[in-house]
């Protein structure tokens, strides 16, 4: 399937994630029709898409890409008339997701695909609310979707194989890096990996092992640099020399297992929350959050450009 199979994209929910998706689809040359019942939603959407346009332009805009191809209607049925692919970004609540899928599927053709950006809700728990459950699939992005290429794709019990195949092909055609999650699992893949790191980071602060700032430094100036280029398995393989990942497991397996057994387990108690908030406030004392966000996005764009020009990296 080529990108050209779809020409009009529907965006349901126009908060930060929905607006980021909208800007990306516009930059790829699509007509985008958005809807959100919140007061001031259209103004907020247009302000956000304008703010995302400059960094998207640095990647290169597709032929015909224009902010003028964005339309908005608070009436969901009117907004989704004629759309062929829907990116749904509603609140992370089961009852709201089910109602949204029912309403969205009633407003579109049976062949249209509904991709939800849900961070943790399982597709099988919501897709039967749609009139076309076989065309409902997860299309989970990473913030901000207009810059980060990863999209996690997974089907529920009723999702057809054709829908998954078309969704993967579509995201690939528009420049995303989709992965197919073969089995539904809470939090999907990348969020689970992040959660494992976060748990130990909070634990180390709580145990007085290191400060919030030092832990951020440890990742940002250590393994995080490698992780930005290669995943955990490939990085481990490269560290094993000629013997690769097998050599690492043979020689470092026992100590790694001992570290696993020693990892902490904790909950977000008021004390844990206070430590994290205080640590971040201390880290930001000499920095502007807005300036740091802009700098992050600027370096991210440069990194993505370098990665795309280096075919030897996966």
Q: What is the CATH number of the domain that holds 57?
A: 3.40.50.720
Mean pLDDT of the chain: 95
**Adjacent-strand bridge partners of 32:** 9, 70
**Adjacent-strand bridge partners of 33:** 10, 71
> For residue 298, what are the domain limits?
190-308
156: three-class secondary structure by DSSP: coil
Q: For residue 65, how many other CB atoms are within 10 A of its CB? A: 18
Q: What's the pLDDT at 122? A: 94
For residues 242 and 250, the answer to whether their CB atoms sit within 8 Å is no
Beta-strand relationship, 31-35 and 8-12? parallel
Q: 186: closest CA among 304, 92, 295?
A: 92
Q: What is the pTM of this model?
A: 0.92
**Mean pLDDT calculated for residue range 164-171:** 97
Q: Which two tokens stand for residue 230?
A: 């290669």
Asked if residue 166 and residue 47 are part of one domain, the reply reads yes
Asked if residue 195 and residue 146 are part of one domain, the reply reads no
| Cis peptide upstream of residue 144 (ω within 30 degrees of 0) | yes
Residue appearing with tokens 């899928």:
101
Express as a percent the part of the chain with pLDDT over 70: 99
Q: Has residue 314 been placed in a domain? A: no
Helix (H) or strand (E) holding 71: strand 70-72
Q: Is the pLDDT of residue 5 over 90?
A: no
Residues 260-276: b if buried by 16+ CB within 10 A, e if exposed = eeeeeeeeeeeeeeebb
Helix (H) or strand (E) holding 255: helix 244-262
Asked if residue 33 and residue 133 are part of one domain, the reply reads yes
Express as a percent the part of the chain with pLDDT over 90: 95
Q: Return the axis-axis angle of helices 190-206 and 270-283, rounded to nearest 10°.
A: 90
Q: Has residue 101 been placed in a domain? A: yes
Asked if residue 72 and residue 204 are part of one domain, the reply reads no
Determine whether 258 is exposed, middle or buried from the number of CB atoms within 10 Å of its CB (0-12, 13-18, 19+): exposed
Boundary (domain end) residue, out of 121, 147, 180: 180
Asked if residue 199 and residue 168 are part of one domain, the reply reads no
- What CATH number did the domain enclosing 274 receive? 1.10.1040.10
Q: What's the pLDDT at 77? A: 95
For residues 120 and 186, the answer to whether their CB atoms sit within 8 Å is yes
Asked if residue 171 and residue 44 are part of one domain, the reply reads yes
Q: Has residue 81 been placed in a domain? A: yes
pLDDT band at 50 (very low <50, low <70, confident <90, very high): very high
Helix (H) or strand (E) holding 200: helix 190-206
Q: Which two tokens stand for residue 312?
A: 């030897």
Q: Is the pLDDT of residue 1 over 60?
A: no
- Number of domains into which the chain is organized: 2
Q: What's the pLDDT at 314? A: 86
Q: Has residue 313 been placed in a domain? A: no
50: three-class secondary structure by DSSP: helix
Boundary (domain end) residue, out of 149, 180, 211: 180
Q: Has residue 73 been placed in a domain? A: yes
Q: Has residue 260 been placed in a domain? A: yes
Distance CA(201)–CA(203), nearest Å, equals 5
Q: Has residue 185 been placed in a domain? A: no
Q: Is the pLDDT of residue 177 over 60?
A: yes
Asked if residue 219 and residue 95 are part of one domain, the reply reads no
pLDDT band at 7 (very low <50, low <70, confident <90, very high): confident
For residues 55 and 31, the answer to whether their CB atoms sit within 8 Å is no
Asked if residue 268 and residue 176 are part of one domain, the reply reads no
Asked if residue 161 and residue 287 are part of one domain, the reply reads no
Q: For residue 238, how many other CB atoms are within 10 A of its CB? A: 14
Asked if residue 290 and residue 198 are part of one domain, the reply reads yes
Boundary (domain end) residue, out of 162, 180, 198: 180
Asked if residue 261 and residue 139 are part of one domain, the reply reads no
Q: Has residue 25 been placed in a domain? A: yes
Q: Which two tokens stand for residue 92?
A: 């992370």
Asked if residue 223 and residue 196 are part of one domain, the reply reads yes
């Amino acid at each position: 399937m080529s990108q050209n199979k779809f020409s009009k994209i529907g965006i349901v929910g126009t908060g930060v994630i929905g607006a980021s998706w909208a800007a990306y689809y516009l930059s790829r040359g699509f007509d985008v029709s958005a809807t959100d019942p919140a007061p001031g939603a259209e103004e907020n959407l247009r302000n956000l898409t304008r703010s995302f346009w400059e960094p998207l332009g640095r990647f290169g805009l597709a032929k015909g890409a224009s902010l003028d191809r964005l339309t908005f209607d608070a009436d969901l049925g009117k907004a989704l008339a004629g759309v062929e692919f829907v990116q749904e970004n509603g609140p992370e609540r089961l009852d709201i997701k089910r109602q949204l899928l029912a309403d969205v599927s009633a407003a579109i053709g049976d062949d249209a695909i509904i991709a939800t950006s849900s961070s943790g809700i399982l597709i099988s728990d919501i897709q039967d609310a749609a009139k076309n459950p076989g065309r409902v699939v997860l299309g989970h992005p990473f913030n901000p979707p207009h810059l980060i290429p990863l999209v996690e794709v997974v089907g529920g019990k009723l999702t057809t194989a054709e829908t998954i195949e078309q969704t993967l092909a579509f995201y690939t055609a528009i420049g995303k890096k989709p992965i197919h999650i073969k089995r539904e699992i809470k939090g999907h893949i990348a969020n689970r990996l992040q959660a494992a790191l976060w748990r130990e980071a909070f634990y180390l602060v709580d145990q007085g092992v290191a400060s919030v700032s030092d832990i951020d430094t440890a990742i940002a100036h250590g393994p995080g640099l490698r992780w930005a280029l290669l995943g955990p398995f490939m990085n481990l393989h490269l560290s094993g020399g000629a013997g690769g990942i097998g050599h690492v497991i043979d020689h470092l397996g026992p100590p790694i297992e001992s570290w696993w057994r020693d990892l902490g387990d904790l909950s977000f108690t008021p004390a844990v929350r206070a430590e994290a908030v205080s640590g971040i406030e201390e880290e930001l004392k000499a920095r502007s959050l807005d300036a740091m966000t802009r700098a992050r996005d600027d370096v991210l764009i440069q990194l993505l450009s370098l990665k795309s020009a280096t075919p030897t990296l996966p």
